[in-house]
Amino acid sequence: MSQFGKAFWIRLAILTLVGIFTLPPLSPPAVAKDLKIGAIFPLSGRGATWGMAAQKAITVKQKEVNAKGGIKVGGDTYKLEILWEDDKYNAAAGRMAAEKLVNRDRVKFILGSQSSAVILAVQPITEPGKILFLVNSYAKEVLSPDKPYTFRMVLTSNEILQGMYPWMSKTYPELKAVAFIEPNDASGWSIEKDCRRMAEQNKYQVIFSQFYERGTSDFYPLLNKMIAAKPDFVDFSGAPPGDQALIVKQMRELGYKGKTFSSTTMDPAEFCKIAGVQNAEGHISNTHDLLGAYTTEGQKKYYDGYIAVYGKPFDPVTPKYQVYLDVLLQALEKAGTLDTTKVMETMEKTEEWQTIFGPSKFGGKEHYGIKRQIVTPVYISEISQGNLINRGTMMPVLP
């Protein structure tokens, strides 16, 4: 017999019933002239690193704009309110989050997400509802001519590799054979396809490609086989940062001396900690040292803004997420209206945007069938003695 009295349970039941019938339809009290923008990102669980990075970058921009009084769209000024939802990196939760934002909070603009599965599950809500959806994720299917309200705000492996592979070819002409290691999941598969295509386009020979079970931390069996194939360099772009560091550590232990390469961004301090400073030497990645060479005024300002809000240390994964809100706000101001169709057309027609990465634009009509992929510079850096050294930068060509 329960030690809680009858009264307790009756009270609990009443409370629950009251909750069922009153709480859900309640939306937060609306403040006049507030522009509500939805954001769906992985804020917990796997992928939270990127989700939290996005949250930080977007918040920095939001605070900057609100401190100035808001943005001017048409004749009105709006303060920005970002409604954050956690998709936990899974499609069902992402879909629920989108339901909430679109149907309850009535947002017309959504930022996010990281996972292709989430985006694909959310688009059946956003596209018919003409909700402007600014996304990340690597899958090609996310952008297509029948989904005009979706724009991708971050470079995918397709564009990044388009910059990095020719650079590798030019800088290290002696490297000919490449090996791929990717995890067995959606992004791993999609990235491997892109890597393979780019490698072959740049006359590299793909002599090894294998996927590993998610959750693996002992890569010796896989690496043993890979090393026997004798690749000149190894590309593990699809692996999450911790795995990448482990792969590097273990392949160095096994005696592999070739170059390591990834087209993703990472935090050099954490990478070196897990891999070991000596093992990480020479690793090439798409990480941008914000205060090093190739820095723009916009980036310096963003850095200062970040430190003002979050303090040190600076999170190097964040800069690319700033572009989401930045470009959206510019588009709103340019269009002069909150009507999503007009904003969408403005985004399509505008030839150049000023972002913290310098001039950027949208492209992709040929590759994706629709001009919705942002094109920002690709940065190439190398780890040397535990530090990040900028090695080059270029703009991908995306007709």
Q: State which amino acid sits at residue 167.
A: W
**Closer residue to other proteins in complex, CB, 86/326:** 86
Shortest reach from residue 190's CB to other proteins, in Å: 7
Shortest reach from residue 121's CB to other proteins, in Å: 5
Q: State which amino acid sits at residue 127.
A: E
Shortest reach from residue 262's CB to other proteins, in Å: 15
Shortest reach from residue 163's CB to other proteins, in Å: 25
Shortest reach from residue 159's CB to other proteins, in Å: 19
- How many residues does the structure list for the chain? 399
**Closer residue to other proteins in complex, CB, 317/335:** 317
**Closer residue to other proteins in complex, CB, 88/288:** 88
Q: At what angle do helices 116-126 and 186-201 cross, to 10 degrees?
A: 100
**Closer residue to other proteins in complex, CB, 9/339:** 9
Shortest reach from residue 52's CB to other proteins, in Å: 9
The binding site for other proteins (CB under 8 A) comprises: 1-2, 4, 6, 9-10, 13, 19-20, 23-25, 43-49, 85-86, 88, 90-92, 95-96, 99-100, 103-104, 116-117, 120-121, 123-124, 139, 141, 184-186, 188-190, 210-213, 215, 217-218, 220-222, 224-225, 228, 241-242, 245-246, 250, 253-255, 270, 273-274, 276
**Closer residue to other proteins in complex, CB, 214/300:** 214
CA 111 to the chain's CA centroid? 11
**Closer residue to other proteins in complex, CB, 18/397:** 18
For the four alpha carbons of 136, 375, 298 and 108, in that order, the dihedral sign comes to negative
Shortest reach from residue 391's CB to other proteins, in Å: 26
